[in-house]
Structure 1
Amino acid sequence: FTTNKMVTLTPDTIDDLIYSARAGELQDLQTDLTTLATQTSTTPAHIIAAAIDTAPQEEGGSGSSLLHYPAANGNLEILTYLLTTLTTLPSRDEINKILNHRNYSGNTPLHWAALNTHLECVKALVEAGADVGVKNDAGLDAVFLAERADWKTQEEGTDDNGDEEDAGEMTRGRQVVEWLLSSEKAAE
């Protein structure tokens, strides 16, 4: 296998990979990545790195990587598979480039996981080396997005008088915020 080989995938191929990652179809994703790696004489990790939605925004493109979709949907199984596969890339820089890939709005997979309050996905991304300090185009980091998701949850959880209905347990957004702020990996 060659390293540092740039793979070019067709828009249809990228769409198929994104569909499998978004829909949670692990077996289809694994099969497609392996087949494409064989066809291009590279590795599944190189295919993951090349699978960026580059369609223009006006045509519905997002600029997102394959990691964005399972992170947003809370699909830890697919996300873990992709992260584990990426570790076979030859350099930490190549891995970090995909881990911290910013879509057209400047959001990384970590932003999407935090925004959707998927704590296990947030943990997996940070433990894989995702940069917690990256800000999106609006100047917001993952902690802020999780806090904002928490505010929305709290607003939805108030009764007609504005009183909180159940303040007993920590919200998912708050759990993400607390974990990110206390994580040793996040502090590095």
Structure 2
Amino acid sequence: MSPAKPTQEDKEELLLSCRYGDLEDIQVFVNKFGSEPVNDIHDDTGNCVLHMVAANGHAYALDYLLSVVPPSLLSAQNDAKSTPLHWAALNSHLSIVQKLVQFKAGPGVDLLDIKNAAGRSPLGEAENVGWDEGAKWMVEVMNLAEVKGEDEDQVVDSAADIEVEIQDAEGQIARMKIGQQTPKDP
């Protein structure tokens, strides 16, 4: 026998439970209706359950939902083309950003390349709100090997610093060095 079908009110309650991080109510919904309906539930602006938990920093609810939804939901875009990662970056939730990017079955660092309707990636959103800690982490995990240029075959010394240029939301260039810190002589 298949599970009951959720009503519109049930769906709205699930979205609210995700927004407020009410893990018990999320689990009750899944136990009652199964995980399938969770994948297709969106609010009026296209936000799914992962948008809600990511935007509000609910790590336990995110962990549970990642165990029941398909990995494709990690790259789901709302009406403004923002992903759950955009929302986590916008609201400075480092543990959520890390969980979304590091989820083994998910798209991984490719999530960092998705741009929203404003033309910003999750890194761009972090920079736009002045969230340096998150921007730094995203730059450190970005797949820099895909950046191609004249020296495409050049071997990079892993002990050397890598300088990265990133264009922020206002079009300004930010430079950041990634690599090992060498102690300075006294």
TM-score (norm 2): 0.68
Counterpart residue type for residue 174 of structure 1: D
2:91 to 116, 124, 140: 116
Tell me the amino acid that sits aligned with residue 134 of structure 1. I
Unaligned stretches of 5+ residues in structure 1: 38-43, 54-60, 90-94, 151-172
Larger helix fraction of residues: 1
Query: 1:33 maps to which residue?
Result: 30
Q: Aligned ranges for residues 118-137 of structure 1 at < 5 Å?
A: 118-128=93-103, 129-130=106-107, 131-137=111-117
Question: Conserved in 1, the CA contact under 8 Å of 2:18 and 2:49?
Answer: yes
Q: Structure 1 residue 67 and structure 2 residue 50: aligned?
A: yes
Is the 1:9–1:50 contact (alpha carbons within 8 Å) kept by the matching residues of 2? Answer: no
Give, in angstroms, the shift of residue 125 of structure 1: 0.5
Question: What is the match of residue 140 of structure 1?
Answer: 120
Q: What RMSD, in angstroms, separates the aligned Cα atoms of the two structures?
A: 2.4
Whether 2:179 is the aligned partner of 1:179: answer no
State the number of aligned residues: 140
Q: Which amino acid is the alignment partner of residue 20 of structure 1?
A: S
**Structure with a larger share of its residues in strand:** 2
- Alpha-carbon shift at residue 36 of structure 1 (Å): 0.7
From the CA coordinates, give the structure whose radius of gyration is larger: 2
Decide whether aligned partners of structure 1 residues 10 and 104 sit closer, same or farther in structure 2, where only a CA change above 3 A counts: farther
SS of the residue 1:16 aligns to: helix
Under a length normalisation based on structure 1, what TM-score does the superposition of the two structures give?
0.68
Counterpart for residue 167 of structure 2: none
Task: Check the 8 A contact 1:126/1:185 in 2, yes or no.
Answer: no
Structure 1: which 4+ aligned runs deviate by more than 6 Å?
A: 185-188
Contact 1:180 1:186 in 2 (8 A): no
What residue ranges of structure 2 are gaps of 5+ in the alignment?
A: 147-186
Q: Do the aligned partners of 1:63 and 1:104 also contact (CA within 8 Å) in 2? A: yes
Compute the displacement of 1:23 (Å). Answer: 1.3
Question: How far 1:187 sits from its partner (Å)?
Answer: 7.0
With over 3 angstroms needed to count, the CA separation of the structure-2 counterparts of 1:105 and 1:9, relative to structure 1, is: farther
